[in-house]
């Protein structure tokens, strides 16, 4: 069973999550030759205060 973990800075709408899930499932299913019902996706929304790039918090940009 393929597991996919997607982490994003900030939040996504329910509609965005649904579209991302559909697209990722389609690609994994096709390329890994797995049935769509075998693909499990986790979407983690991380506050921008908890992510840094080049030594700066994303929330400061």
Q: Give me the catalytic one of 1, 2, 18, 37.
A: 2
Whether 2 is catalytic: yes
Pairwise CA distance, residues 20 & 43, whole Å: 9
- Which residues partner with 40 through β-bridges? 3
Within 8 A by CB and 6+ apart from 6, the residues are 20, 24, 41, 42, 43, 44
Question: Looking at the annotation, which residues are catalytic?
Answer: 2
């Amino acid at each position: 069973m393929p597991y996919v973990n997607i982490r994003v800075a900030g939040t996504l709408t329910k509609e965005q999550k649904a579209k991302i899930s559909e697209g990722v499932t389609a690609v994994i299913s096709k390329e890994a030759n797995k049935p769509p019902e075998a693909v499990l996706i986790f979407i983690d929304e991380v506050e921008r205060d908890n992510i840094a790039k080049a030594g700066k918090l994303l929330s400061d940009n």
